[in-house]
Structure 1
Amino acid sequence: MDSFTWEVSLYFLVQEINAESAGEGLNLLGLATASPVVRANGTDQQALLQFKAKITGDQLKIMESWNSSIHFCQWRGVTCGRKHQRVTKLELQHLELSGSLSPFIGNLSFLRELSLAGNSFYNEIPQQIGRLRRLEKLDLTNNSISGLLSNMKYLVLYNNSLRGSIPPSLGNLSSLEILALLMNGLTGTIPESLGQLANLSGFSIAGNAISGIVPVTMFNLSNIRDFDIGGNKIQGTLPSDLAINMPYIEFFSITRNQISGQIPVSISNASNLGQNYLSGPIPFDIGRLQKLQIFLTDRNIPSNLGKCQNLLRLSLSHNNLSGPIPPQVIGLSSLSIGLDLSSNFLTDELPFEVGKLKNLGVLDVSQNRLSGLLPNNLDSCVSLVKLLLNDNLFEGSIPSSLSSLRGLEALDVSDNNLSGGVPEFLVTFKALKYLNLSFNDFEGVVPSEGVFKNASATFAEGNRKLCGGIPELHLSICISKKSSNTSLRVKIAIVIVILAVTLALTCLLILRFRKKKEQPTTISVENSLLQLSYQSILRATDGFSTQNLLGSGSFGSVYKGILEGSGAAIAVKVLDLLNRGASRSFVAECEALKNIRHRNLVKVLTAISGVDYQGNDFKALVYEFMENGSLEDWLHPSVPANGPETVRHLNFFQRVSVAIDIAHAFEYLHHHCETSIIHCDLKPSNILLDKEMVGHVGDFGLVKIVSADTLNCSTNLSSSLGLRGTIGYAPPEYGMGSGLSTKGDVYSYGILLLEMFTGKRPTDERFKEGLSLRNFVETALPERVVEIIDPILLEESVQRRTIADITLNENSQRNDKHFQCLSLIMEVGLTCSADSPSERMNMSDVVTKLCSILDEFLRPTRLHRGIRTPKAAQPAGNVVFLS
């Protein structure tokens, strides 16, 4: 077999595949091994001398240092380990050496790297090299060595920055069963010769830049089980007899290409087809996929899906699905991993057929518009671990039949219209670790045992008729009814006492009012958890101590406080009433927050309006305390006194998660409130992070509430507080007198997104004389993304390669998941921050796009998902893994 050379080194990741063969090294090339290896330092010296003996040309006289006058560990190109003085590296690349490779090289049993690139070695690789169990790197590029691929069965060149086109000579490897060239920089077309590989069962070229069409002969490889060409520039159409000619196909992906035409009807015998320019509906015959186990889709639920009796997991979340849930879908008794219909617009009741899900582990129908009573037969779902029904319109009580679901670990029924008492049987659920009953109309006593004794696991706020429970839940005290046989004398005494107390209090209030010493009254926002006074706030913040100051803004300052008794932490925003707009900001924030609630909005606990001890007006808002401060603190941290090494940073996953949290909040404000809410001041300091690093939008002091009719008309919603927003984040149209709109918030979000992933403020001093954060990013995408990303993220991404590799090799940028996702995220930021409001996305589309990007980032590589490594029981052919 003739050798072939690509423009990169071949790195062999040595893995042991014959576990039964104790004491034998990996037979990397499928060749027989010779005599056993002698384990001694002398053996290494002898092996090196035998290597030298095979050198026939040495123009630079490198081998002259290889003599007995110095220890062999000091010979040119030789590196030894410190502990055992055994040879670990042999690096003789580009030294004009010629000759053949000595079989004694197989005796260097501690060798990890063998680099002989750029010389003139010839003949075959000796079979004894298969003994080198510790070998991690083998670089024989640009020599005249042959015999490497003679009996190849598995060729996996995954994520190696390979360039150029696929060699047509690979089509001569008649024994090849697996060919995986995914995640490289390959260009050109798929060679016709690959259609000759009759034994091929796994083929993946995903994540390259290959163009052209797929040769027809490739679709005739009858042994193919895994076929993945996703993420290229491939065109053409799919043959109508696709699944007929590939009868054993199990994994088929053409996602992210330019393939057009209709989905072949024959694909009903295949699975997991990817989102291209294919038109037409998903075929009705998809119901014939009797072995289908996982189904993911967007925007359409095939009615015949109910025939897939082997479906284990069904995920249809975060789409625009509407209408009722088809009974045949929710009644798939085969479902065991999970059924996820969350974050859609599904309506009507939860079908009675849900009781057929006896083996289901997770049922998630949250964030829809489902209504009616909860089905009584949910108790049939005996395997449920998570039941998520939150953010719907369910009503009635929690069915007592749920008492049989003792394996539940999470139950969330928050944000519905449920009523009745809190079920006592929940106390007996030993596995229950999360229970959310918030924002319903439950009434009665809350237990104090089981999950209810854990304040971090139980949530019951927003139920004004509940009482009892542990103190940390901040519920009212339960008061028992007076006995019906209370004597008349006692009743009269009670009335007299009440009248006397009332009269005394009235006189006291009149006196205090006259002296302007009145204690401030508490204006409780709807569903408030606390009733606080100026005095309690003063004590909680240690007299508004500067040590408790969290930050200051246009209309006031925010302090951390610790409530007496409970020890709960709170955040107190004290309004600076000397600022003329502060009172209006207070009213605007109270008005906005009293009717909205969302997991990604900062919760207001109460509002206080009155006078302080000096008789001055006092206004404050009390919020849920966020342990991890603001996004500003994480993106632009100040260096602490104990050194820069203690500075906190957000990693890539955390930044994407927070960006999605913010997008969810604004999607809710813009599209899911009774009246649309425009925040007007989105910036990092107004994004707060809780102890789980979940993002929450705060500071509604500039908020504007508008009806849908007003929002869609051309009326100028000008601000009574002057220019809305903050310089750098406010959209350009506000500065030119245009009216407020949700698209203004979208612009601010786009700038924030670019800031989160570049680490640069829009007001950075470098952005002047026509340069802005937006065009700074726009001119770098997509090829020079490495030049603009936050250095923290760059450091995270290069853990597996050097900075020089990433800087100089644009292919590695294109193929690295971090860079791929970063580019996509920044494109979202650019679209959101377009100068023209009409060109900006809406927040629902932003949520969908970012969730898709995050899903792609977390998705396992096709190498592990679609290409299978051989089992130990199978005969060991030639295996080459490059990683």
Structure 2
Amino acid sequence: MFSGIVPANLSFCTGLTTLILHYNQLNGHIPVDIGDTLTHLQGLSLMENTFTGFIPASLANLSSLHAVSLKRNLLHGPILDSLGKLAGLQFLNFEDNRLSGVIPPSLYNLSSLTNFAVGGNKLHGNIPADIGDRFPMIQEFSLDDNQFSGAIPSSISNLTTLEGLWLSQNRFSGFVPPRLGRLQSRILFLHETNVEANDREGSEFITSMANCSQLRILLIGNNSFSGRLPSSIANLSTTLDSLYLGYNNISGHIPSDVGNLVGLSILEIGHTFMSGGIPESIGKLVNLVQLYWDNNSFSGLIPPSIGNLTQLEWLLAPNNSLEGPIPANLGTLENLQILDLSMNYKLNGSIPKEILGLTSLSSQLDLSYNSLSGPLPSEVGRLHNLNKLILPGNHLSGEIPDSIGNCIVLEFLLLDRNSFEGSMPQSFGNIKGLRVLNLTMNKLSGAIPDTLGSMHDLEQLYLARNNFSGPIPAVIQDLTLLSKMDVSFNNLQGEMPKGGVFRNLTYISVAGNSMLCGGIPQLHLAPCSTNQTGKNKRKWSKSITIALATTGPILLIISVVFLTHIFCKKTTRGQKGQLPPMLIGEKYQRVSYHALSAGTNGFSEENLLGKGRYGVVYKCIMDDEDTSTTVAVKVFNLQQSGSSRSFDIECEALRLVRHRCLLNIITCCSSIDPQGQEFKALVFEFMPNGSLEDWLHPKSEELTLSNTLSLAQRLDIVVDVADAVEYLHNHCEPSIIHCDLKPRNILLAEDMSARVGDFGISKVLGESRIGNQNNSNSTIGIRGSIGYVAPEYGEGSAVSTAGDVFSLGILLLEMFTGRNPTDDMFKDSLNLHKFADDALGDKTLEISDSTIWLHPELNASIASNRIKECLISIFRIGISCSKQQPKDRMLIRDAAVQMHAIRDEYLMFSTELYVT
């Protein structure tokens, strides 16, 4: 392999007729005099090097040149008009450089050309309308991955000698020429060209393609096709090897006779609006290697005939409405490497043992977010070659089989949100290359095994919301790659390790483990001592979820109100200086007016964080012996009508709730101020990153990474909010309706996790009473804020959980469009819901908040399709939640489950992309 520059003495080889220097490491400029010295050249290939600079003008002097290839270099500048003088040129390939400008008209006059390839550059302009009359001998024509625009001329159908046409990844408009089938091409690349089709016009070309008897590859995905998929798609050539239809707005059913396409090895129908069942004839496609059904609305059973596809390597059908059991005969697909049936929700029954016997499964087995039940079969240990086992969000139960330790090449093991019980298998220690282990929200108990210390590649460990007990193993601090750990809400005890990796974890959560002590100072755990009584000796500190920032200052901005565990209730007016009794024990010491006044410097303006309907919020520094704790204090304006009642409603609504995504209250104060006026205040944990409102609509005109949210952050936040609402509706006794979900009432912790606050107008269902008055709408009026309040409330309907779902839907749409529902653009019949619904599909990226792209967490050119897919899924949930009629809205449980699935899928993809 040669390297360096082209030697100068090459010019002495004046008799050369062919110069081939491709697939080397040559650099520098192509010799500018190459056309003046090597005048007899007929063939020139410099492809696959790293040449820079311009195409030499002297090439136009090579009058005998028949073939030239400069493919895959770093050339820039224009394509020279003078090359049109090479009347005998048959082969021209300038693909994959950095060329710009337009294709010179003179090149379209080279009637001798059989191959013309300029794809992968930065060229623009239109294809000449008479292109079909220009190249009578053309066999391959490639303009893909440029910036060409305008219509694809109908005359292109006259290029009957054409065998391959590459027009993909451009900015064309209009319809595909209806008679494209005249081309008799073997290869047609039209994906991501922005061309259109609908039920009335534009899809005729598919019918005409039935004439292409030698057609092998047809790519028409990622366009603006809408309407029903023509049934004539099943009439394409039996030689068709690859068919890509995905990322369009097409609808309808898969034709029942799709099995006619017996030559297919790749069938991609992902990310459309297609529905109906999967036809039984799919089993006739016995040559299929890759099958994509993902992100559609396919329903019904998975046809048993799928077991006939013995060559299948990839089967992806996530995010549909498939139902019933997973066919056991999938276990006959002995070449299967990827099986993804996640997010179908109605898939039920047990996991077939036959699938777990597929030793070919090497990349991924994803059955997450379905309704699978029963134990995880011990046969799982036969997946010796599997890289990712993903089973969250099901109803799996029983013990995690010890045989799972035989899956020694696993990198991702996600078993969260099931009902597994028993202890964590010691055999986990055999999976030494594991990078992510997630067992969150199960019923596991016992000690966390020391064998985790052998997982030297472990990056993320999630064990939250189980019943683990005993200490956190000290060996975990030796896991040098560990960056995130969540062991919150267990029964862990003893001294928290503080050496090694615990000094620089990006994220650590130990909340809800009251018997843990010591550890790094940022955790605010009680100090360990020999006479530890188990009671937290600090008055203000408690174990909370924190983010340990590795760089940058901590932003201490608005910490607007509002709460979770309230341990106070209303006192009778006139009881001077008497604090309200705690409702569930003496967990936190009560606070006096004097302490709050001192901590806020007399409730000074400089400590003011924000103002709400019934009060103001201050930053407060509470001093306790040798420590100081920052809190947020909401002081109620008792002169405001409804303020005192709001205080009582908050106490009543949240006195028994406990959830990580609800703003945590520390204590309360009901006293008399120095002027003899009644004083009421609530004390909350301090939220240093303020409200979601501040991040979605920053006051600064300069939008940067530091004041906007990435896509991953938005997904995390919306999952937290959905979890909080789902908890309030379905897991509280009695249930609670928030009634005022909006960005200003979503607070962000130091790690940017979300807390739902402000329950001042919430509704406690059941028989709860406050001050001998039923907690009803009659005293509050229409509950909610303009833009977020459910439309039925304005018509006098009673408060319901569906109202919160509506508000959540609007909140979600606002988060991902960046548009406030009260924006001036929304008037007459246009609102945020309709704005998103009208754009769903091909215009999704256009309406998405542009600040998402400020964050370089992904390579946009690689990830744009996946980001679009993620946003479409999110918008679908927001649109469903914010429908006009309550009965048409998605249930909060389904919304929460789907948001988890979307977030997890995106994070999995971004992790893979980052690693690669």
* TM-score normalised by structure 2 residue count: 0.67
Structure-2 change in CA distance of 1:660 and 1:686 (3 Å): same
Asked if structure 1 preserves the Cα contact closer than 8 Å seen for 2:234 and 2:260, the reply is no
Which amino acid in 1 is paired with 2:195?
G
Is residue 197–residue 221 contact of structure 1 (8 Å, CA) maintained in 2? no
Return the offset for 1:179. Answer: 5.3
Superposed CA offset, 1:109-143 (max 9, x none): 99923635788953436589889998856865334
SS in 2 for 1:264: helix
Look up the match of 2:43.
33
Looking at structure 1, the residues matched to 322 and 219 of structure 2 have their Cα atoms a distance apart, in angstroms, of 21
The one of 272, 293, 303 aligned to 2:315? 272
Contact 2:373 2:396 in 1 (8 A): yes
Aligned to 2:636: 575
- Which of 740, 750, 756 pairs up with 1:681? 740
1:185 aligns with 2:204: no
CA distance in structure 2 between the aligned counterparts of 1:481 and 1:795, rounded to whole angstroms? 53
- Classify 1:560/1:284 alpha carbon distance in 2 versus 1 (closer, same or farther; 3 Å): same
Which amino acid counterpart does residue 436 of structure 1 have in structure 2?
A: D
Question: Kindly tell me: are residues 591 and 224 of structure 1, through their superposed partners in 2, closer, same or farther at Cα, counting changes over 3 Å?
Answer: same
Q: Does 1:115 align with 2:102?
A: yes
For 2:768 and 2:177, the matched residues in 1 are separated by: 57
Paired residues of 1:158 and 1:181 also in contact (CA < 8 A): yes
Equivalent runs, 1:352-751 vs 2, <5 Å = 352-402=402-452, 404-405=454-455, 407-453=457-503, 457-481=507-531, 537-562=596-621, 564=623, 569-579=630-640, 581-610=642-671, 617-639=678-700, 648-650=707-709, 654-706=713-765, 717-718=776-777, 720-751=779-810
Cα distance change, pair 137–859 in 1 and its aligned pair in 2 (3 A): farther
Determine which of 182, 206, 222 is the counterpart of 1:207.
222
* SS across alignment from 1:442: strand
Counterpart in the other structure of 2:338? 294
Q: SS at 1:585's partner residue? A: helix
Q: 1:21 to 1:389 in 2, by over 3 A?
A: closer
Residues 261-313 of structure 1: CA deviation (Å, up to 9, x unaligned) = 94634135423154678887543211122232222113346412112123235
Alpha carbons 2:373, 2:394 under 8 Å: kept? no
598-607 vs 410-419, greater mean Cα deviation: 598-607
User: 1:682 offset after TM fit, Å?
Assistant: 0.6
Distance 1:380 1:132 in 2: 49
Task: Summarize the Cα distance change of 1:588–1:386 in structure 2 as closer, same or farther, 3 Å threshold.
Answer: farther
Larger Rg: 1
Are residue 145 (structure 1) and residue 134 (structure 2) matched?
yes
Q: 1:197 to 1:543 in 2, by over 3 A?
A: farther
- The code of the aligned residue for 1:267 comes to L
Task: Tell me, in whole angstroms, the C-alpha distance in 1 between the residues paired with 2:680 and 2:268.
Answer: 62
Q: Distance in 1 between matches of 2:505 and 2:826?
A: 48
Distance 1:716 1:526 in 2: 24
CA offset at residue 348 of structure 1? Answer: 3.3
Could you tell me how far apart the structure 1 residues matched to 2:528 and 2:384 are? 46
Using the TM superposition, give the Cα deviation of residue 397 of structure 1 relative to its aligned residue in structure 2, in angstroms.
Answer: 3.0
Which digits, 9 at most, give the CA deviation of each residue in 1:378-412, with x for residues without a partner?
A: 33433333332222232333345545445543333
The runs of 5 or more residues in structure 2 that have no matched partner are: 1-19, 31-40, 64-74, 141-160, 198-202, 241-258, 533-573
Distance in 1 (CA, whole Å) between partners of 2:676 and 2:521 is: 33
The 3-state SS of whatever aligns with 1:589 is: helix
1:466 Cα offset (Å): 3.1
1:681 is displaced (CA, Å) by: 0.8
Per the TM alignment, residue 630 of structure 1 is displaced from its structure 2 partner at its CA by 1.6
Rounded to whole Å, the distance in 2 between the matches of 1:108 and 1:159 is 17
Deviation at 1:546, TM superposition (A): 1.8
- Within 5 A, what are the aligned runs for 1:239-388? 246-247=286-287, 249-253=289-293, 256=296, 262=303, 264-265=305-306, 266-270=308-312, 271-274=314-317, 282-297=326-341, 298=344, 299-300=347-348, 302-303=351-352, 304-314=354-364, 316=366, 319-328=369-378, 330-334=380-384, 336-388=386-438
Task: Name 2:268's counterpart in structure 1.
Answer: 228
What are the superposed Cα offsets for residues 470-501 of structure 1, whole Å, 9 maximum, x if unpaired?
4433333444359xxxxxxxxxxxxxxxxxxx
The DSSP-based 3-state class of the residue aligned with 1:829 is helix
Distance of 1:131 and 1:32 partners within structure 2 = 20
Q: Which moved more, 1:554-563 or 1:120-129?
A: 120-129
Q: Which amino acid aligns with 1:196?
A: S
Q: What do the CA deviations read for 1:199-244 (whole angstroms, capped 9, x no partner)?
A: x4x6543334353232262467777543324456889998867666
Q: Residue 196 of structure 1 aligns with which residue?
A: 213
Gap change, CA 1:324 and 1:783, over 3 Å in 2 = closer
Gaps of 5+ in 1: 1-15, 26-30, 52-85, 483-514, 802-814, 865-883
CA deviations over 1:648-684 (Å, ceiling 9, x no partner): 4445565455334322332232234454321111111
Distance 1:638 1:284 in 2: 57
TM-fit CA distance, 1:841:
1.3
Aligned length: 748
2:888 to 839, 850, 853: 839
- Of 88, 100, 111, the match for 2:77: 88
In 1, Cα distance between equivalents of 2:503 and 2:909: 39
With over 3 angstroms needed to count, the CA separation of the structure-2 counterparts of 1:653 and 1:480, relative to structure 1, is closer
Give, in whole Å, the separation in 1 of the partners of 2:178 and 2:384: 43
Cα distance between partner residues in 2 of 1:117 and 1:172: 28
Amino acid at match of 1:836: Q
Counterpart-to-counterpart distance in 1, 2:647 and 2:799? 20
Deviations 1:447-475 (A, max 9, x none): 44344556864433322333333443333
The two structures have a TM-score, normalised by structure 1, of 0.69
Question: What RMSD over aligned residues (CA atoms) do the two structures have, in Å?
Answer: 5.3
Q: Is the Cα contact below 8 Å between 1:114 and 1:139 reproduced in 2?
A: no
**Separation in 1 of the partners of 2:835 and 2:52?**
60
Question: Secondary structure at the residue paired with 1:544?
Answer: coil
The structure 2 residue matched to 1:164, chosen from 155, 167, 176, is 176
C-alpha deviation, 1:742, in angstroms:
0.7
Identical aligned residues as a percent: 32
Greater percentage in strand: 2
Is 1:19 aligned to residue 9 of structure 2?
no
Q: Distance in 2 between matches of 1:98 and 1:430?
A: 61
Name the residue aligned to 1:871: none
2:111 is aligned with 1:124:
yes
Shift of the 598–183 alpha-carbon distance from structure 1 to 2, 3 Å rule, reads farther
The worse-fitting range, judged by mean Cα deviation, of 649-658 and 748-757 is 649-658
State the Cα distance separating 1:741 from its structure 2 match: 1.3
User: 1:338-386 CA distances to partner (integer Å, 9 max, x unpaired)?
Assistant: 3222233333333343333333223222233333333344334333333
Between the aligned partners of 1:170 and 1:624, the Cα distance in structure 2 is 71
CA distance, structure 2, for counterparts of residue 367 and residue 338 of structure 1: 17
1:505 matched residue in structure 2: none
Letter in 2 for 1:112: L
Q: Give the counterpart letter for 2:170 in structure 1.
A: N
1:521 touches 1:609 (CA, 8 Å); kept in 2?
Answer: yes
Specify the code of the residue in structure 1 equivalent to 2:109.
Y
Query: Residue 745 of structure 1 aligns to a residue in which SS?
Result: helix
Amino acid at match of 2:414: D
- In structure 2, relative to structure 1, the CA distance for the partners of 1:138 and 1:360 (3 Å cut) is same
